[in-house]
Every structure is written in structure tokens, then in C-alpha cells.
């Protein structure tokens, strides 16, 4: 449907994520930014608000039929004339991932779909060009320019040692740990000598852990095993803490 000025009118604004953790993160960030945002499973009323409301849902909860517990949403329920933002994240390559990838297309068939993801390579590329991507609202200058200039003048070996110690908690091989009690989470840490254990320096929230593990085993030239951690709690929920190093 279009307005008198030929602009599209969308039924809803939807944000589709790979899992619960990323839904919570996006929801918190939207609300802190003053954007009216809710979980779609908790508000299925359609747009009908005085300002745009973003409805967030995990791709796995878009189902062919509604569940008895109300934890999923029938795929046809939101309609097809929506503005759909799809956070790609790490979707995996398995049959389940490929099947899920088609679901946002149904939601935006008569609307508009925007897929996005922030990659580490893009971030590093900006820093190497002395651009952090964060501008001062008044001066339009890069907020991190003094730090970037300082890094550019540092001794390479000293900078490397500091990065290893501050970010990775040491040097050594890479270990990947699947957190069994946290759906879709893989923790990364640097290996240590026998009997010691270093803190994790990163956590990956991935859509299809099994497919990713298979990819590592079959395609990665480095021999990288994925260990199982049956006791640690979720790390993804801690990344917003001021003292977090992940």
C-alpha cells in the first residue's frame, strides 16, 4: 500500500535475529536509544501506534504453525508488507539454517528487506585507516583520533605484546569451547600450560553451532577442536558490563 505522496506504508517494522541473546541485546540498545521496541511474541497487534514500533523476533520462532505455549509466531501472521531488518550474524550452513533464511523473505515480500551484519574485518579496516567510525556530533571529528594517532606511532612489537596481554590474557594457541548451558555460545581463549586456565577473551553467538563445528573440522587448515563446557554460564549477557574484556 502507498500513501498519497507515493511513499510505502508498512504493516510493521520487524527485526529478525538468530537467537534469544541477540534479540535481548538489540532490544536493550533500541530502548536505550529511545526507540519503541518490543518482542513480537509479546505484541502481535501490528503497527497501529503513533510512532514506529520495532518488533523483535528470533528467526527460529517464525513457524509454520503457532505453538501451544505461544512461544512462536505463525509466519503469515505479521503479513508480507513489512519493513524487515535481518541481522545475519553467524547463520551457519546446515539444512536448518538454509530453511530459516527464506522466512524473512515471506515477511517482506510486499515490503522491504534489509540484511546487515557488523564484521570484524570491516572494523579493523576502519582502524587501520585511522577512522573509528564514531563522529563527534558537533565537530564531526573522529572521537578516537588521539588514540588512533598514538597507536600509529607505537613500536609494533610492544603494541603486539600489550594487545596479547590486555585483550587475550596471554599468548598461545586458540581454544574454542561450546557452552552447553548457553544456547549458541562459543567461548574463545588462549591455551595455557597443563593445569592452568586463562580467562576467555571473546564469545561468539552463532545460529548453528553443529554446522560451524563441522566447518572447523572439515575446512580449517589449522587443527582446531571444539571442547565442551558443561558448567559455565552464558557469557554473552556480560559483554555490556563496563569491566568486560569480551
Query: What is the tens place of the pLDDT at every residue in 206-220?
Result: 777 888 877 777 776
189 contact partners, CB below 8 Å, separation of at least 6: 169, 174, 175, 177, 197, 198, 199, 200, 201
What is the average pLDDT score of the chain? 75
**Domains located in the chain, CATH noted:** 13-116 (3.40.50), 121-167 (no CATH), 170-238 (no CATH)
* Average pLDDT, integer, range 151-173: 77
**pLDDT at residue 56 tops 90:** yes
The larger pLDDT score, comparing residue 171 to residue 134, is at: 171
**pLDDT at residue 95 tops 60:** no
**pLDDT at residue 121 tops 50:** no
The larger pLDDT score, comparing residue 76 to residue 65, is at: 76
Report CA 63 to chain centroid distance, whole Å. Answer: 21
Other beta carbons within 10 angstroms of residue 189's beta carbon come to 20
pLDDT for the residue 15: 92
Cell 501451544 -> residue: 68
Residue 114's alpha-carbon distances to 64, 88, 108, 162, in angstroms, are: 22, 10, 9, 39
Using DSSP's 3-state secondary structure scheme, residue 148 falls into helix
The enclosing H or E element of 46 equals none
35 contact partners, CB below 8 Å, separation of at least 6: 52, 54
φ/ψ of 198, rounded to 5, equals -90, 155
Other beta carbons within 10 angstroms of residue 188's beta carbon come to 16
Q: Is the dihedral of CA 75, 79, 81, 85 positive or negative?
A: negative
pLDDT for the residue 236: 75
Using DSSP's 3-state secondary structure scheme, residue 11 falls into coil
Cα–Cα distance, 242 to 134 (Å, whole number): 19
**pLDDT at residue 181 tops 60:** yes
**pLDDT at residue 34 tops 70:** yes
* Average pLDDT, integer, range 135-155: 73
Label residue 97 left, alpha or beta by phi (over 0 means left) and psi (-120 to 50 means alpha).
alpha
pLDDT digits (tens, 9 = 90+) for 148-161: 777 766 676 777 78
The larger pLDDT score, comparing residue 193 to residue 37, is at: 37
The larger pLDDT score, comparing residue 125 to residue 100, is at: 100
DSSP state for residue 80 in the 8-state scheme = S
Amino acid at each position: 500500500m502507498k500513501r498519497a505522496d507515493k511513499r510505502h506504508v508498512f504493516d510493521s517494522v520487524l527485526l529478525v535475529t538468530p537467537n534469544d541473546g541477540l534479540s535481548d541485546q538489540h532490544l536493550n540498545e533500541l530502548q536505550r536509544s529511545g526507540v519503541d521496541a518490543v518482542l513480537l511474541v509479546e505484541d502481535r497487534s501490528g503497527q497501529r501506534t503513533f510512532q514506529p514500533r520495532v518488533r523483535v523476533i528470533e528467526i527460529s520462532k517464525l513457524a509454520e504453525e503457532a505453538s501451544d505455549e505461544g512461544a512462536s509466531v505463525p509466519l503469515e501472521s505479521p503479513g508480507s508488507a513489512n519493513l524487515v531488518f535481518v541481522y545475519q550474524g553467524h547463520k551457519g550452513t546446515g539444512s536448518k539454517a538454509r530453511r530459516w533464511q527464506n522466512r524473512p523473505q515471506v515477511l517482506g515480500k510486499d515490503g522491504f528487506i534489509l540484511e546487515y551484519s557488523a564484521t570484524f574485518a570491516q572494523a579493523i579496516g576502519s582502524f587501520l585507516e585511522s577512522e573509528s567510525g564514531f563522529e563527534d556530533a558537533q565537530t564531526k571529528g573522529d572521537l578516537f583520533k588521539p588514540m588512533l594517532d598514538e597507536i600509529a606511532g607505537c613500536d609494533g612489537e610492544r603494541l603486539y605484546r600489550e594487545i596479547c596481554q590486555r585483550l587475550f590474557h596471554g599468548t598461545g594457541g586458540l581454544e574454542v569451547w561450546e557452552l552447553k548451558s548457553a544456547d549458541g555460545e562459543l567461548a574463545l581463549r588462549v591455551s595455557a600450560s597443563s593445569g592452568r586456565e586463562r580467562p576467555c577473551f571473546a564469545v561468539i553467538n552463532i545460529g548453528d553451532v553443529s554446522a560451524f563445528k563441522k566447518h572447523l573440522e572439515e575446512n580449517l587448515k589449522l587443527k582446531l577442536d571444539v571442547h565442551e563446557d558443561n558448567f559455565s554460564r552464558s557469557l554473552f549477557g556480560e559483554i555490556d558490563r563496563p569491566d568486560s574484556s569480551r
